[in-house]
Amino acid sequence: MTRIIVVTSGKGGVGKTTTSAAIAMGFAKKGHKTAVIDFDVGLRNLDLIMGCERRVVYDIVNVIYGEATLNQALIKDKHCENLYILPASQTRDKDALSQEGVGQILEELAAKDFKYIVCDSPAGIEKGAHLAMYFADDAFVVTNPEVASVRDSDRMLGILASKSRRAEQNLEPIKEYLLLTRYSPERVRIGEMLSVADVQDILSLHLLGVIPESKSVLTASNSGTPVILDEKSDAGQAYVDIVARYLGEDKPHRFIEEEKKGLFGKFFGSK
Amino acid sequence: MPTDSQKMPNNSPPLEFKSGSFSVPILILFTNDLKFIGQQLHEKVDLAPEFFKNSPLIFDVQELNKQSLDVDISALVIVIRQAGLLPTGIRGGNIPQNKIAVELFIPVYSAHSINITPTDSQKQKQKIIVPEPIVDVITTTTMITRPIRSGQRIYAAGDLVVLAQVSAGAEIMAEGNIHVYGSLRGRALAGVQGNVNARIFCSDLQAELISIAGNYKISDDMRDIVSKKFVQVYLQEHTLIIKDIE
């Protein structure tokens, strides 16, 4: 069974595309055939993060309008053969997407035995974000530990619960997972940032993982390699954990407490 | 698949059928004197103009037909409309009457047997128009088990019970009481149709706004309320009282 995952947040700049690229690569590295779709038509970024911007010929809008086949538009990742990228169009806007067209693409991907389809949602709650989440089975809600991001995530959760295909057809609701990104335990300690507990209290959502604020994210983005491939970085390891947890492995939470210097990377469980 | 996706960008299903039950006043007629009916209707409506304004109304002509008194349905409809009421059904009409009603787009309801003893009917003849008692306590309860998120609105025609949190930026409204067994961080409005006896019960009051029958408090007015405690909110002489529940 194909599982459609939307990576969403409401607010912009919280790490949706970084997360989409990382988890898609994570699933593929675990041996699952995975596709990652950029829904941010007009502000295409996923191709840069995935390092395939030089190989984009056709995009999702071309497929929807029948100007290219899905096979022509899918770009095979250079790091992992199980991973395919469907880029967004840079010259169009979100209205070029249609629910019918997106539904057909997802069906076709399912027919091609893709195990996971990761939908990288644009910011906002308008058409692009709506179509990214509409067909989803699972939602990764990416949130930064600050009030505006938390509120926007809450709004997005409301939309997931009421406007998705699963909600409209009275099916089992979308499974929602919380990903707290750009987390800095030091700043939480001095009261500059909401803690994991604060965010969970407001959103009451299952925490899939915490990704620490890390220089490696920017480095990875600029070099076009998903941060999950940087095994030495804390953010990369956090994404490895998240993928494992989502796939059912029992991994204690890390990066929630401050690391004690001098000790060899002391990791804490959350509970 | 629908093809008019251009017209409906989000392609939500265009319609949905749901069953619902409402309490609607029924006007039972004992005379076919339209002028008299009009007069009586106006008197009734003037007693509570806001309540009756644009109220739906089903008229019942069963008694007239029992006494073989014919009534001009189209004229009757005009009389009812002139009184500010919206006729939404006919009950107990004969075949020609029902036919006229349908032509006027007024639905036909089947007649229940109304047992009126002759003496009652005699008494009521003097009063002419006897609307059925209007049920003012609505017993339907809306139950919500999932969190109500920012931007969501819930309206309950009766009581509203929420077994999860209500997020900041969410709005819950009920014509009756509101119960929230979780953190209440959004807006909660009870008795929105003017029921001053409605109350709000809450296990953790951190609301942006609470209101009963239009009397409200904003969170700034509730700074001294301790959260994570069971409280109830009720109206006393136009003032909202927030009290702990021991």
- Average pLDDT score over residue span A94-121: 96
Q: Under the phi-then-psi rule, with left for phi > 0, alpha for psi from -120 to 50, and beta for the rest, what region is B90? A: beta
Task: Answer for the pair A193, A221: CB distance below 8 angstroms, yes or no.
Answer: no
Tell me the residue type at A162: S
Instruction: Say if strands A34-38 and A116-120 run parallel, antiparallel, or are unpaired.
Output: parallel
Cα–Cα distances (Å) from B133 to A49, B31, B64, B162, in that order, read 69, 20, 20, 31
Say which range, A16-30, A70-84, B75-89, B119-133, has the weakest mean pLDDT.
Answer: B119-133
pLDDT digits (tens, 9 = 90+) for B211-230: 999 999 999 988 887 788 99
Share of chain B above pLDDT 70, in %: 83
Q: What is the pLDDT of residue B236?
A: 93
Share of chain B above pLDDT 90, in %: 37
Q: What is the pLDDT of residue B111?
A: 65
Structure tokens at A197: 């507990």
Examine the pLDDT at B1 and tell me if it is beyond 50. no
Tell me the residue type at A263: L
Q: What is the pLDDT of residue A20?
A: 98
Residues of B in contact with A158 (CB under 8 A): 148-152, 167, 170
Task: Answer for the pair A157, B149: CB distance below 8 angstroms, yes or no.
Answer: yes
Q: What is the pLDDT of residue A270?
A: 42
- Average pLDDT score over residue span A169-176: 96
Instruction: Transcribe B165-194 into DSSP letters.
Output: -B-TT-EEEESS-EEEEEEE-SEEEE-TTS
Q: What is the pLDDT of residue A190?
A: 94
Q: For residue A170, what pLDDT band results from cuts at 50, 70 and 90? A: very high
Q: What is the pLDDT of residue A231?
A: 93
Q: What is the pLDDT of residue B121?
A: 47
Dist. CA B220–CA A73, nearest whole Å? 55
Task: Answer for the pair B235, B213: CB distance below 8 angstroms, yes or no.
Answer: yes
- Average pLDDT score over residue span B172-183: 96
* d(CA A64, nearest CA chain B) in Å: 13
pLDDT digits (tens, 9 = 90+) for A218-270: 999 999 999 999 999 999 999 999 999 999 999 999 999 987 655 554 454 44
Q: What is the pLDDT of residue A79?
A: 94
- Average pLDDT score over residue span B107-115: 65
Q: Is B64 on the interface with A (CB under 8 A)?
A: no
Task: Answer for the pair A107, A72: CB distance below 8 angstroms, yes or no.
Answer: no
Q: Across the interface, do A151 and B5 touch by the CB < 8 Å criterion?
A: no
Residues of A in contact with B184 (CB under 8 A): none
Q: Which of A11, A97, A99 to mutate against chain B (most B CBs within 10 Å)?
A: A99
* d(CA A162, nearest CA chain B) in Å: 9
Q: Across the interface, do B151 and A155 touch by the CB < 8 Å criterion?
A: yes
Q: Across the interface, do B165 and A154 touch by the CB < 8 Å criterion?
A: no
Q: Is A165 on the interface with B (CB under 8 A)?
A: no
Q: What is the pLDDT of residue B118?
A: 44
Of the two residues A132 and B83, the one the predictor is more confident about is A132
**Residue B129 φ/ψ, nearest 5 degrees:** -115, 125
Instruction: Say if strands A83-86 and A75-76 run parallel, antiparallel, or are unpaired.
Output: antiparallel
DSSP B111: P
pTM flag (> 0.90): no
Dist. CA B185–CA B209, nearest whole Å? 9
Q: Across the interface, do B169 and A204 touch by the CB < 8 Å criterion?
A: no
Cα A91 versus chain centre, distance? 23
pLDDT digits (tens, 9 = 90+) for A178-197: 999 999 999 999 999 999 99
Of the two residues B11 and B232, the one the predictor is more confident about is B232
Structure tokens at B82: 């002139």
Name the 3-class secondary structure at A141: strand
Q: For residue B119, what pLDDT band results from cuts at 50, 70 and 90? A: very low
Examine the pLDDT at A58 and tell me if it is beyond 70. yes
Q: What is the pLDDT of residue B51?
A: 75
**Residue B14 φ/ψ, nearest 5 degrees:** -70, -25
Q: What is the pLDDT of residue B5?
A: 42
Share of chain A above pLDDT 90, in %: 93
pLDDT digits (tens, 9 = 90+) for A12-36: 999 999 999 999 999 999 999 999 9
Using the Cα atoms of residue B80, residue B82, residue B86 and residue B89 in order, give the sign of their dihedral: positive
Of the two residues B28 and A174, the one the predictor is more confident about is A174
Q: Across the interface, do A151 and B168 touch by the CB < 8 Å criterion?
A: yes
Chain A neighbours among B 165-204 (CB < 8 Å)?
A: 165, 167-170, 182-183, 185
| Closest alpha carbon to A168 in A88, A103, A111 | A103
* Residue B87, C-beta contacts closer than 8 angstroms, at least 6 positions apart: B56, B57, B58, B59, B77, B80, B81, B106
Q: What is the pLDDT of residue B42?
A: 86
- Average pLDDT score over residue span A116-125: 97
Residues of A in contact with B10 (CB under 8 A): 99, 127, 130, 163
Instruction: Transcribe B112-174 into DSSP letters.
Output: PP----HHHHHHHHHH-EEEPPPP-S---EEEE-S-B-TT-EEEESSEEEESS-B-TT-EEEE
A 10 A CB-CB count for A265 gives: 9
DSSP A154: H
Q: What is the pLDDT of residue A264?
A: 53
Q: What is the mean pLDDT of chain A?
A: 94
Dist. CA A189–CA A196, nearest whole Å? 12
- Average pLDDT score over residue span A107-126: 97
pLDDT digits (tens, 9 = 90+) for B12-67: 677 877 777 777 888 888 888 888 888 888 888 888 777 778 888 888 888 888 88
